[in-house]
Structure 1
């Protein structure tokens, strides 16, 4: 049983290494976490272009969303801004804080689609 778990973990790690090395994006390799005063984990590994190709995401607003009066604005994106431009470190009313926003957007999509990493160490690689 322990061998199976070990092989499974090795396969996941191998896959993540393959994704990271095999599909490098121009400049972005990690989600920027400089805004956090004392990050508890390393920045999440994220290869932007390769992620979108694999996930078949063509609409930038899918991730780079814009909300107005609590409703998502269709056909408008925030791709020219950083997540921290809108999301503070703490929740503000209905707007989630930055950590929660990342997890709701990224992990939430992975859970909904049944694809992609959902465990902490799969994104926050030491």
Structure 2
């Protein structure tokens, strides 16, 4: 009997820990959400280019994020490449990511749309040691 109770409690603790660390079950895009202890009015990144996204669009608040990350140069995220080379001091801020990045990599752009989103956001978060990096921390269920 004690062994059965022990395993039941252990399983419940593992499920609770998984839910807490994966970001699943958190509120999505409601005013007053928190990321890293900061309050944001969240938006969802547009995923309309994907036929059947596996997860909802990542939640993100552009201006609050950039202020907190001290990003002043739009070209840091909204980059422009010509012939495979980064064009300094040029920004693609008036274009959507899907205008350059296709669903699949191709000769004009070797980085798929999904990889472009993930590389841009997740790599910066890893490099800075700040910001969400797990799937459920950005892709919150509605």
Q: TM-score range by the shorter chain?
A: 0.7 to 0.9
- Write out per-residue CA displacement over residues 34-82 of structure 1, whole angstroms, 9 at most, x where no aligned residue: 1100000011001000110111000000000000111110110000000
Is residue 23 of structure 1 aligned with residue 37 of structure 2?
Answer: no
- Write out per-residue CA displacement over residues 6-39 of structure 1, whole angstroms, 9 at most, x where no aligned residue: 4xx38x769x9224x93327xxx11100110000
Structure 2 residue matching 1:22: 3-state secondary structure: strand
What are the residue-to-residue correspondences of 1:48-59 with 2, within 5 Å? 48-59=62-73
Match of 2:97 among 60, 63, 83: 83
Question: Could you tell me the TM-score, scaled by structure 1's length?
Answer: 0.82
- Number of residues paired by the alignment? 118
- Which structure: larger Rg? 2
Q: 1:102 corresponds to which residue?
A: 117
Is residue 112 of structure 1 aligned with residue 134 of structure 2?
Answer: no
Question: Could you tell me the TM-score, scaled by structure 2's length?
Answer: 0.73
Q: Which segments of 5 or more consecutive residues in structure 2 lack a partner in the other structure? A: 1-12
Structure 2 residue matching 1:104: 3-state secondary structure: helix
How many Å separate the matches in 2 of 1:115 and 1:95?
A: 27
Q: 2:6 corresponds to which residue?
A: none
**Could you list the runs of 4 or more consecutive aligned residues of structure 1 that deviate by over 3 angstroms after TM superposition?**
none
Q: Which segments of 5 or more consecutive residues in structure 1 lack a partner in the other structure? A: none
